[in-house]
Amino acid sequence: MTSTAPAPAGPVATCARPGADLAAAVHAVRRDLTADGHAGVDEAATVAHRLVRLAEHYGNHPFTPLEDARRLLDVDRASFSRLLDLFGRLPELRHAVENGPAGKYWQNTLLPLERRGVLDSALAHKPAFPYSVGLYPGPTCMFRCHFCVRVTGARYDPSALDAGNAMFASVIDEIPAGNPYAMYFSGGLEPLTNPGLGVLSSRAAARGLRPTVYTNSFALTERTLARQPGLWDLHAVRTSLYGLNDEEYEETTGKRASFERVRANLRRFQQLRSERENPIRVGFSYIVLPGRIHRLLDLVDFIAELNEAAPDRPVDFLNVREDYSGRENGRLTEAERTELQEGLLAFEERVARRTPTLNIDYGYALHSLKTGADAELLRIRPETMRPSVHPQVSVQVDLLGDVYLYREAGFPDLDGADRYIAGRVGPGTSLAEIVERFVDDGLRIAPHGGDEYFMDGFDQVVTARLNQLEADVAAGWGDARGFLR
C-alpha cells in the first residue's frame, strides 16, 4: 500500500521510531563498533549511545543544523566529527533515519535533490536549469473553491492561448535529458481548460518526459479526450478530490452536481484506458480536514467503485494529506491525534480488503503520525524565507510565460505574487536564461508578511533544507552539511 519497501526490522534500523528498544540498539551498535575495530572496548558504549541518539534525532527532526546536534550531544568538534564519520560506516543507522517518523522528508524530497546536486547549486548561488518545472496552462477554472487563493473572476484572455502554447512548447524542448519527471502540468487554473494540452503532452512524451497533470477532472470527458488524443501520452492523471458527494463538492467548489460529473468522467476514463491498454496512471489527492477522518472509509469505497468499471486496471495511487494548519505551531491536540491514528488504522484495514493494489503516499505529517510520533507540519515564516529563493530547484511558468518562484504564486492578479516573478519566457528569451539572470545578478526578494502562503509544502521543505545547509557551512561543517547526503 505504500511506496517504499519496509526497512530492516532490527533494533538499530528501527531506533528512530517511538517505542523503539534503544538499549538493544545501543548494544548492537556497540558490538559492531568493536567487531570492526572502529572503537575500543572502553569507549564503545558511549560512542554507540551517541550514534543512536543521532539516528533518533534526525529520524524525527531532519532540519536540525549540525552545530545544534553537536551541542545536544555535548561533545567537542573533534568528537562530533568522528561520530559523523562512524555514522556513515553503519548502514543500519542510516536506515533508521530514512525510515523514521520524518522519513518522508528524506525519501521523497531531500535525498533525491541531494543525489542530483540540485541543492549544491542553490547553496552556492550558481545557475542551473530547474530540477522541477511546473507548466500552468489553464486559462480559467470552472470551480471557485473557498480555500483557493485565486482572485474571483481572474483568468487569462483566450487570445493568449496560441502564443502561450508555443511558449510552453519551447520550455518543454529546453528540459535537459536524464530527468523524465522534470515537468508537470498544474495550476494556477485548471489545465484541462487549455485546448492545446494534448499537443503539449505529446511533445513532452516525444522528448522522453513523463508528465503528470494535476486536475479537477471536471473536463476529463470522453469528448475532451477525442478532441485531444495527446492526453493519452501523459504519464499520469492526478485528480484533486473536493469531497465524496455533490453536497460536499458544492460547498467547496461552488458548483452544483460537480461530484457526479467528476465521478462519471473517471469511470469512463477507467474503461477507456483499459480498452486502449494505455499505460497512463490514475490517482487522487485527498486532504483530511479536521473532524473528517471517517470520510477516508468512504474514499476507499469510491475508489473501489471506480475499480469495478475496469477490474483489470484498478486506480494506481492515492496521496493523502492532512490540513490542520490552523492549529497553534501546527500541532494536533491529543484528541485529534488519537482520532487520526484510529481513523488511519480503520482506513488501512478497508484498503487491504477493498483496494489492495492501491499505492498510498501519506506525505510528511501523516507518515509521522502513522509511526506514533507527534505529527507537526513544517512552517516557514517570512523571517525564515530565503530572499534568493531556489529557482535551481523549482519554477512555475504560466500562460503568459511569467516564471514564478513559488508554486502557490502562479495565479493571475494575485496580490503581491508579481514580486515573485523572475522574468518572462518569450521569443528570444529562454527559461534557462531567466534563471541564469536571476541568479547571476544576485536578485533578492524581501519577504512581506503573508508571503509564506505563496509556498506549498515542497517549497517549505526546500527552504528549510537550504537554511539548514547554510547554517552547517557557516559553522564549519561544510563537508558533512545536512547530515545525510
pLDDT in tens, 233-242: 999 999 999 8
Give the per-residue pLDDT at 151: 59
Residue 87 in this model has a pLDDT that exceeds 70:
yes
What is the residue extent of each domain of the chain?
Answer: 22-100, 126-382, 383-478
Mean pLDDT in residue range 172-200? 95
Q: How far apart are CA 315 and CA 325, in angstroms?
A: 29
Mean pLDDT of the chain: 92
Between 77-88 and 66-73, two packed helices, what is the crossing angle to 10 degrees?
110
Give the per-residue pLDDT at 376: 59
Measured CA angle at 191 (ends 316, 390), to 5 deg:
85
Q: How far apart are CA 25 and CA 159, in angstroms?
A: 65
pLDDT in tens, 257-296: 899 999 999 999 999 999 999 999 999 999 887 778 889 9
- Confidence category of residue 149, pLDDT binned at 50, 70, 90: low
Mean pLDDT in residue range 356-367? 91
Q: How far apart are CA 467 and CA 482, in angstroms?
A: 10
Q: How far apart are CA 182 and CA 118, in angstroms?
A: 12
Give the per-residue pLDDT at 368: 83
Mean pLDDT in residue range 424-436? 97
Give the per-residue pLDDT at 253: 78
Q: How far apart are CA 107 and CA 362, in angstroms?
A: 12
pLDDT in tens, 263-272: 999 999 999 9
Q: How far apart are CA 73 and CA 222, in angstroms?
A: 61
Residue 1 in this model has a pLDDT that exceeds 50:
no
Q: Which residue has the higher pLDDT, 349 or 143?
A: 349
Residue 125 in this model has a pLDDT that exceeds 70:
yes
173: phi then psi, degrees, rounded to nearest 5: -70, -20
Q: How far apart are CA 457 and CA 377, in angstroms?
A: 9
Nearest to 430, CA basis, from 458, 405, 403, 464: 403
Give the per-residue pLDDT at 3: 42
Residue 360 in this model has a pLDDT that exceeds 50:
yes
Right CATH number for 126-382 from 3.40.390.30, 3.30.1130.10, 3.20.20.70, 1.10.357.10?
Answer: 3.20.20.70
145: phi then psi, degrees, rounded to nearest 5: -70, 140
Give the per-residue pLDDT at 192: 97
Give the per-residue pLDDT at 279: 97
Residue 6 in this model has a pLDDT that exceeds 60:
no
- Confidence category of residue 152, pLDDT binned at 50, 70, 90: low
Residue 171 in this model has a pLDDT that exceeds 90:
yes
106-110, 143-147, 288-292, 386-390: range with lowest mean pLDDT: 143-147
How far CA 376 is from CA of 235, 291, 337, 369, 463, in Å, comes to: 32, 17, 11, 9, 17
Mean pLDDT in residue range 45-50? 97
Nearest to 165, CA basis, from 126, 195, 128, 123: 195
pTM for the full predicted model: 0.93
Bridge partners, residue 359, by sequence: 317
Q: How far apart are CA 420 and CA 451, in angstroms?
A: 10
Residue 119 in this model has a pLDDT that exceeds 80:
yes
Mean pLDDT in residue range 92-115? 95
- Confidence category of residue 407, pLDDT binned at 50, 70, 90: very high
Please report, as a single letter, which amino acid is at residue 244.
Answer: L
Percent with pLDDT over 90 in the chain:
79
Residue 8 in this model has a pLDDT that exceeds 60:
yes
Mean pLDDT in residue range 370-387? 84
Are the beta carbons of 136 and 186 closer than 8 angstroms?
Answer: yes
192-196, 248-252, 468-472: range with lowest mean pLDDT: 248-252
pLDDT in tens, 452-475: 999 999 999 999 999 999 999 999
- Confidence category of residue 83, pLDDT binned at 50, 70, 90: very high
Residue 374 in this model has a pLDDT that exceeds 80:
no
Residue 146 in this model has a pLDDT that exceeds 70:
no
Place of cell 537550504: 466
- Confidence category of residue 5, pLDDT binned at 50, 70, 90: very low
Are the beta carbons of 394 and 116 closer than 8 angstroms?
Answer: no
Q: Which residue has the higher pLDDT, 324 or 44?
A: 44
